[in-house]
Structure 1
Amino acid sequence: MIHNKETIPQRPAPEGTIGPVAWLRGNLFNGPINSIFTLLGLYVLYLLVVPTIQWAFIDANWVGDSREDCTRAGACWVFVNARFSQFMYGLYPSEGVLARQHRICHVRGHYCLDGDPAPAV
């Protein structure tokens, strides 16, 4: 048996076996059935994402003070903004209780959710 003491230089990988295109080809388009399911999944994703973006951002109501200001067919961010404290803390009886919540945020080293500093007590 013959042994070669020199190391052979490393060659680059063959074209088409590395990179994102090779991953797509090997995992999502490696046969007719997988290709059909991949394209069908992308189409369903398109049918779900485009109307959601349209509803949540493009047709949304952004300006106002109450739910009555929500006149368009999109999401009512006005209502969410007006009720943000209730969504985050629930139906607490007074602002004094919320001050404790804000202090807990600061003691743990986090900023409060609404960006305001904790009120002094």
Structure 2
Amino acid sequence: MNRMKVFLLLAVVIGFSACQSRSKQAAEQEMTDDSLYVSSIEEEKTIIGVVGDASMNNFMLITSKGDTLFISTMDQEPNDVTGFELGDTVRVNYIEEEEEPGSSTIPTAQKVVVIGKKIRNK
């Protein structure tokens, strides 16, 4: 009879710990899902560089270190991301957004401010 009680007690403990593990897994999964959601809302960053090329929805920025970044201006207010020309030095306030979870990030300009105009021959 004592063996039966010990066996039942052991079965109950195993049952509760199995449920607890699933609860932990569910909580960890929720945290992972929340972190994916939060990662798409990044803090605004700033970078300075020279405009190397531009098109309607993006432009190429060359930093002082020689790094080349392609920055998206799609879906932004035109007044916030225009007014610069090739060769101008600009300060870009941007956020990094993922196109798809797990893929590379794309800097999206929030505001572009010209801090130096290229001297142009007339």
TM-score under structure 1 normalisation? 0.28
Structure in which a larger fraction of residues adopt helix = 1
Larger RCO (alpha carbons 8 Å, 6+ apart): 2
| Larger strand fraction of residues | 2
With normalisation by structure 2, the TM-score equals 0.28
